[in-house]
Each structure stands twice: as C-alpha cells, then as structure tokens.
Structure 1
Amino acid sequence: MQKVNKKIKVLTIINSLNLGGIEKTMLSGLNYIEDSQIEMLYCCFSKGGALEEEYRSKGAKILYIKKTGLILLDFLQLLAIIFKNNIDLVHSRFAFTSGGFVLASKALRRKMIVSIHSTSPTSFRKFKKYLFIYRLLQLQLKVHRYLTLRYADKIIGHSTANLNAFLEKWKDDERFILLYNGIDFENLERQPKEDSNLADFVKNSHFVFLHIGSFRLPKNHFFLLKVFKSLLQDFPNSKLILVGDGELLEKAISLSKDLGIAKWVKFVGNDNEIRKYFTYSDLFIFPSLYEGFGNVVLEAQYFGIPVIASKIPALMESSFIDYQKYFFDPTDENEAAQNIKKILNDLKSHQLEDTIKKAKKHTEENFAVENMMQELSNIYIKSINENQPQL
C-alpha cells in the first residue's frame, strides 16, 4: 500500500448502523484497517442502530445528519461536518442521492467516493402511485446522478449488476471500480453453533428452510410464506425460520396466521449471530425482487447450505453457478415451489454433495472481507494522492 504523510480521515455516509449486509461488512472491516493509515468516521441519518455500540467498541466515531432529501440542505449539513472534523475523504453509500454530498466535498476540495449498492433507488418506488410527486422525484434523481457523474472521484459498484444499472458504459470511465463485498469468515466461526430453542422447534421436521433479511418489500416475505404453504402439502411438518426485523414484520406474522401456517414458522427478529440458524437448516431460500448483491447468500454457501433464490442479475454474481439452474422468477409462486422441490429431491438423493463443497471453496477464495478491505484501503489512499479535480 502506498504511504501517505498523515493518517487519512474517511467519513462514510450511511442510513444507519443496523443489521444490513453492508453495515456488517463495514464493521468486520474495522478489524483490518485499525492499524493502518486510515481513521474511519461514520455519518448516519438515524440514531440507535443495532450495531452502533459494536462500532464504538472498535474505536469508530459516529456522527449524525438529518435526512432531508434536498440537495441544498445535504450540501450545507455535510459542509459543516467536513469542516468541523477535518475530513479528508467522503465515502457516500447512497448511489442515487449523493448530489449534495458530492458538491460539499468538492467545495472544500475533499476527495469523494460514491458506492452503488443496489440497482435502483428503492425508497422512491412507494411514490409511484402519486404521479406528480414521482415525476418530481425522478427529476431530482437525475440531478443527483449528474452531479455524481460530474464530480465524484471514484464510483464503486459492489456488483456488476449495480454498475450496469447506474451507467451502461461504465467500463469506459476509469473512475468506476467493481469491488465485491466481503464476508468475515473468522467472525462467523466464533459464533455459537447450537441453540436449544431452535433445536426444539425443528425437532422431527421434514425439511427446515431459512431466510435472513429485513422485512421490507424487496425481500419478498409474503411471497415466501405463500410458497412455503404449498410446500407443506408435499413435505408436511417442515419448518421455516425467518431472521430479521422491519416495517413489514407484523404484516408477515399476520399473513402466516391467515394462511394457517403460523405453527410451522418461527420469526426470531434481529440477530447478528447467525451461525446457529444455518446449523439447523437444510435449504436457504432468498426470493428477493431486487438486490444489490446478497451477502447472506455467501454466508449460506460458506456454511454448506444449498441456496435457491430469485433469478435476478445480482444474485447470479453472489451465488455459486451450479445452484443457478434451480433459481426462479420471484413473482411466480408455482415455479418457485417446483424448483424448491427439485433441489430438495437432489439434496435427498445426495446429488448436491460435490456442489456444496465447491460452493464453499468458491466463497472462501473470492469473498474474504480482509481482501475487500485491503482493496478499499488502497482506493482511499490512491484517491488522496491523485490530483484534485476542480469545480
């Protein structure tokens, strides 16, 4: 890694420090940069994230900023934070709404990096039914995108799918970088492997299915519950474990009761120690409508759990290729159920043993968090050493 004259202060802007894939990746990454030339600070829209105390225990400084949705106010807020904390480089995790942050960084001649974690700005989709508001938001997104493309020093895509969605010809622009998320395998190994409550729940089960993810529309929990109900006809007394929390949790619990499957479904809420859930599971199901990458798919493969998921571009990058023949349209319940039956039959007949081993090896060799953080650190230092573009 190239040397710099002083420790670089990097400010990462993120929504909150909750139990999301990138939040966990960044937390693990602190173990690999704490003794380097980089000091990490985090700027969040909301307080009280489930991982905040763990970040602080590793020496991270956490700041807060109001979520305004307005370019000018974002500009003014970040301007003050950069000036007060003497920030050298800003790394925004908001690919589609970083316009104000980019301008603030450039106004103070600081380096600016923007990460792309999804294929579209998911928070805006709920406004589609309000046509006028939606069109105004679309116009604002175009301004954000223009400012990012005009002034960002680097733009990191955490999957090829994300980069393709953001800019079709991204390969022609040397500022664009593909950097896959990494998994902290050592941390996973330190987690508890067994749990008596889970053991009691899955006892004498036909099959145990697992999903880990926040209860938001993109994760497609309602679809999963309906598919699970149909699977119970062929695999009675199977169980479904759902790990996560979110705005749709109560509706999902209510739906499980309406479908008459509540006693076969376990809602466990947020839990950062996920190893035990893989211990008791036979199949990981991930029916997302859209994803940026899917870190949890890598975690399932690492623990030797077969994966079946949506047939969407991002999950084709995180999943092992031999599983992809089972993938399904996340809007087609019948196709999902049929393909799950196929992979279960192959699992029962021991046809997946070689695939499971290869998937684990592929994950270990290509998605270690220490390799990701080494590359990200190099990007930070290289950016600092490059000439500053002018406004």
Structure 2
Amino acid sequence: MYRVLVFGMTENPGGVESVIMNYYRCIDKTKIQFDFLCNFHEDAAYEDELTAMGGNVFHITARSENYGKYKKELKAFFKDSQGTYDAIWVNVCSLANIDYLIMAKKYGIPRRIIHSHNSQNMDSKLRGMLHERNKKRIDKFATDFWTCSEDAAKWFYEDRLLPKVVMIRNSISVDRMAFDEEKRRNYRKKLHCDERTWVIGNVGRLHFQKNQKFCLDIFQHFLKKYPNACLVLIGQGEDETDLKMLTARYGISEKVYFAGKQTDICGWLSAFDTFLFPSKFEGLPIAALEAQANGVPMLASAKVIPQEVKINSNFVFLDLDEGAEVWSEHLSQMQKTAKRLDVSEVKQNFTEKGYNIETETVKLEKLFLKDVR
C-alpha cells in the first residue's frame, strides 16, 4: 500500500479542498491511501467522509495561534510517523510556509510534492515576502513540482523549475455536479423564487480576490431592467459584513441572499440561471468548473481567469475594466440567449478537455506509483 500524507484541507469546503476530495473519492484505495495533516483543531471539511474512506485525520496547532506549540507538535508528528509515508502532497496557495516539506525531508519521506493552487498573493505583504524568499529555495526540500494551471506555475516557481512542473488538472465529477430538476425546485422555493425569477449566483470565499463587491455593483444595474431578479452569494469570509452593508446602502438587501457555507453545491447551481464570476485573480477555479459541470451559463473575468477554464460554449469572458454597467448588459443578453447545456454534452466537453475526474485520476495514480516496482 502506497501511503500519502496530504496537507491542504481546511475547515472550509473551498476549491483546494474540493480538488483533493474529488481525487480521493476516485483513487484506487487498494493501491494508494491518503492521510491528512491539518493545522487547526476544528473538524476539517468533509472529515467524516475522509475517515469513512479509510483516511486518518491529524490535527496540530496553527502556526499563527501559538508558534512554539505549533513547532513542537509539527516535529513530534513527523518524528512519530517516521517510516509511515511514501509521499507528502502539500496543496497550498503560496509558499509562505514550507515547514511541512522541511520536516518531511528531515524525517525521511522520500517523495515531497508541492502543488500550486493560485496565481497571485492573496494574503498579507509579509506572507508575500515569505513566498518570494521560499520560492528561491523550494527545490531544496521538494522533489516534485505540481500546478493547477500555467499561470499558477509561473507565479509559484522560478523559471529554472518550470520544465519540471507537472500539470494536475482541477478535475471534477460531472455526475456529482449535474443539473438536478428536483433540487432546482427545492432551492428556488427556499429563495421564495418561482420560474419567472432570474437567479444569479456566485460561489466562493467572501474575499477581495473573488470580487463579490463587483457582483453587487453589477446586480444593482441589472435590477433596473429586471426588478424580479435575485442574487445568491454562497460562502463565508472576511468581507461578509462589508458586503451586507453595501447591499443596504444600495437598497437591495431584499434581493440578495447570503447563503453562507454550503455543502450541496450541485443543488444551488441547479437553482441558478446564470453564474457570475468576476474574480480579480485565480489559479484554476474549481467553482467555475463545478458550475460548468452543472451546465449553467457563466460570465467570468477575462485575463485573470485562465483561458483553459472555458469548457462549455455558454461560458463568456469579459474584461473587469469594462465596468459594472457593461457587465450588467452582458447578463441581460445572456438571459435571452444563453441556455443551460445538457449533461451529455457537458460530459463530452469535460472528457475532451481533460477535466473529467474518472480519466484524470488514472493519471494521478501513475504519478504517485511511478517509482514503485
């Protein structure tokens, strides 16, 4: 049995967590088994499912909470588990903290994989400086270099390492995200919406990266033409209070639904008529893939979201510089012309583009087992 220690799960069922889960659900567990190291003490996203599939979940103190305790617990974990793991797979959005790889090397884990999931610093200036420092020395500790997109690789790794970087697509299960008519009715009922209501949705951490403020700017223009519309924001984050204050200032609080953290993303996507995704930067966003797997038309920011994210024909790119009013006009056009795609067409598109989890998991298994005789 090839055992992999995975770092990257948090308490939030976000994009990185979804990528890990999609592969873990499909991987051949008679050959490869995952365990999970988490730097927090609350339950991890999907923890019950992780343990049900045979994975062990280990919790240590966060570095930001108590640095001394974190270092002590981190060292103890790697020392106590010496000889247990064939690989460590570190899934992160920056190189600000590479302690897990340093400890993995010190205590003899032979394969040490670093996996880039973002294309820009989304944290503090200090963490950005730490990222740049560790970027210069990451190959002293990591043996394998993975990325979710070309843009993420270019930001994460120095040019000298790019020839070694392996693309691991943020693949998903189309079947798990496929449109569900019954769920559509149930969730729209929860929103007090009938089929005459145009429901616009966004899924993501409430954070400046995801640009939900711009969603509100666009939506207030859209309401002038379509007063029966509704905007649903799914996720939690540090911008939540400011966003709610902005909806009140615009006088649209009754039209905006803050759904918070949700697990049945398929159900919510099925309720949407358009997916609005004006992020300021992304690696390769899982939310955009899940929405397309559901077949829902999407309007997304050009130049900052990688071109390879576009899988379906009803996906439209638009420059953020065009402004909220122009985005609103495009939403109006999509309301009239863009239709949800049938699941058979969606599945064909995902397979052709390499984002179908069933086929991509086979490639991941071969990568893990490449040196196993």
Tell me by how many angstroms 1:203 deviates.
1.5
Contact 1:310 1:329 (C-alpha < 8 Å) held by counterparts = yes
Query: Cα–Cα, structure 1 residues 139 and 325, in superposed 2: closer, same or farther, change >3 Å?
Result: closer
Alignment correspondent of 1:377:
365
1:1-391 alignment, distance < 5 Å: 7-14=1-8, 16-33=10-27, 35-46=29-40, 47-68=42-63, 77-85=73-81, 86-94=84-92, 95-110=94-109, 111-124=111-124, 127=125, 134=126, 137-167=127-157, 169=159, 173-174=163-164, 176-189=165-178, 193-196=183-186, 198-199=188-189, 201-203=192-194, 205-320=196-311, 322-323=313-314, 326-329=317-320, 332-347=323-338, 361-365=348-352, 366-382=354-370
Gaps of 5+ in 1: 1-6, 128-133, 386-391
Of 150-159 and 50-59, more deviation after overlay is shown by 50-59
8 A contact 2:4–2:85 mirrored in 1: yes
Identity percentage of aligned residues: 19
Q: CA deviation at 1:244?
A: 1.8
Mapped to 1, the partners of 2:55 and 2:311 lie a distance apart of: 34
**Distance in 1 of aligned mates of 2:188 and 2:2:** 45
Cα 1:284–1:364 change in 2 (3 A) is farther
SS in 2 for 1:122: coil
Indicate if the aligned counterparts of 2:39 and 2:63 stay in contact, CA closer than 8 A.
no
Secondary structure of the structure 2 residue equivalent to 1:250? helix
SS of match in other structure, 1:201 = coil
- For 1:91 and 1:75, locate their aligned partners in 2 and report how far apart those are by CA, in whole Å: 19
| Bigger proportion of residues as helix | 1
The offset of 1:314, in angstroms, is 3.5
CA separation of 1:360 and 1:88: change in aligned 2, threshold 3 A: closer
**In structure 1, how many angstroms separate the alpha carbons of the residues matched to 2:322 and 2:209?**
12
CA-atom RMSD in angstroms: 3.1
Cα displacement string for residues 167-214 of structure 1 (whole angstroms, at most 9, x for unaligned residues): 36467533x101111112333359762453523622254422111112
Opposite residue 317 of structure 1, the aligned amino acid is E
Residue aligned with 1:182, SS: coil
Partner of 1:4: none
The offset of 1:34, in angstroms, is 5.0
Write the distance in 2 (CA, Å) between the matches of 1:142 and 1:188. 37
User: Could you tell me which amino acid in structure 2 is paired with residue 80 of structure 1?
Assistant: A
- How far, CA to CA, are the matches of 1:328 and 1:286 in structure 2? 12
| 3-state DSSP of counterpart to 1:193 | helix
Residues 90 and 113 of structure 1 are in contact (CA less than 8 Å); yes or no, is this contact kept in structure 2? yes
Deviation at 1:159, TM superposition (A): 1.1
The answer as to whether partners of 2:274 and 2:299 remain within 8 angstroms in 1 is yes
- Give the superposition deviation at 1:82: 2.6
TM-score norm. by structure 2 comes to 0.86
